[in-house]
Structure 1
Amino acid sequence: MQSQNPFLDEMAKLTQAAVGLAQAAGEEAKTAFRAQSDRWAADLDLIRREEFEVLKAEVATLRAEIAALKSSKDG
């Protein structure tokens, strides 16, 4: 993007650099927020959705096994 005016060329370069810095700062802020929220979740003994779903499936399996054992014991 070359123009006849060197001032406009410099302004374009500075604008591009500022946009790049803003994007990098946004990503850094997102990473910092995610890390802080992970620390809060750990402090509160919270679990992630994936862990909850795995435990939920295991409990369902165990309940089915218990029901099968009870029915075979009664029958």
Structure 2
Amino acid sequence: MQSENRFFDDLSKLINGAAGTIAGVGREFEANAREKAKEWVGGIDVVSREEFDAVKALASTAREEVELLKARLDALEGKTAPVVKAKVATKKTPPTGDI
């Protein structure tokens, strides 16, 4: 009976040791994978969201300016009707004197 208990004790120690080793290998693999991912992402030239939004706004403004300049150039070359920028004139009515 004593030999069976010792056998199971040794077997449980072996299984516990193997489980600990497998867990350690898993943690080490995860740490190495994270490190490699950080190195890979660090090597990529990525812009921040703020930089992207700023450049997008600049591009939009430049696109609008280009369209205006194209219209002006076409008007100067006589290809289309001239583009007139409407100025809002405030019309003042003279006082009538009737109150």
Q: Name the residue aligned to 1:71.
A: none
What residue ranges of structure 1 are gaps of 5+ in the alignment? 64-75
RMSD: 3.1
Kindly report which structure 2 residues correspond to 1:60-75, keeping only aligned pairs within 5 A, or say none: none
Q: Name the residue aligned to 1:23.
A: 23
Q: Name the residue aligned to 1:69.
A: none
With normalisation by structure 1, the TM-score equals 0.54
How far off is 1:5 after superposition? 1.7
One-letter amino acid of the structure 2 residue matched with residue 35 of structure 1: E
If you compute each CA radius of gyration, which structure gives the higher value, 1 or 2?
2
1:41 and 2:10 matched: no
What residue ranges of structure 2 are gaps of 5+ in the alignment? 58-99
How far off is 1:46 after superposition? 4.7
Measure the CA separation in 2 of the matches of 1:46 and 1:34: 19
- Which stretches of structure 1, 4 residues or longer, exceed 3 Å deviation after superposition? none
Distance 1:31 1:12, change over 3 A: same
Aligned residues between the structures = 56
